Amino acid sequence: EGRSAVLNSRLDGKRGVVFVARDMTDLKQAEEDIRFRAYYDSLTHLPNRVHFLESLSDAIVRARRTEVMTALLFIDLDRFKNINDSQGHHRGDEMLKEVAKRLKRCVRSTDTVARLGGDEFTVVTPDLTNELHASKITETILEALSQPYDLFGQEIYASASIGITICPTDGDD
Burial grade of 91 (CB within 10 A; 0-12, 13-18, 19 or more): middle
Active-site residue (options: 111, 119, 150, 173): 119
The crossing angle, in degrees rounded to 10, of helices 49-65 and 25-39 is: 70
User: Rounded distance, CA 112 to CA 74, Å?
Assistant: 12
N residues, the chain: 173
Residue 71, number of CB atoms within 10 A of its CB: 24
Residue 119 bears catalytic tag: yes
Any idea which residues carry the catalytic annotation? 119
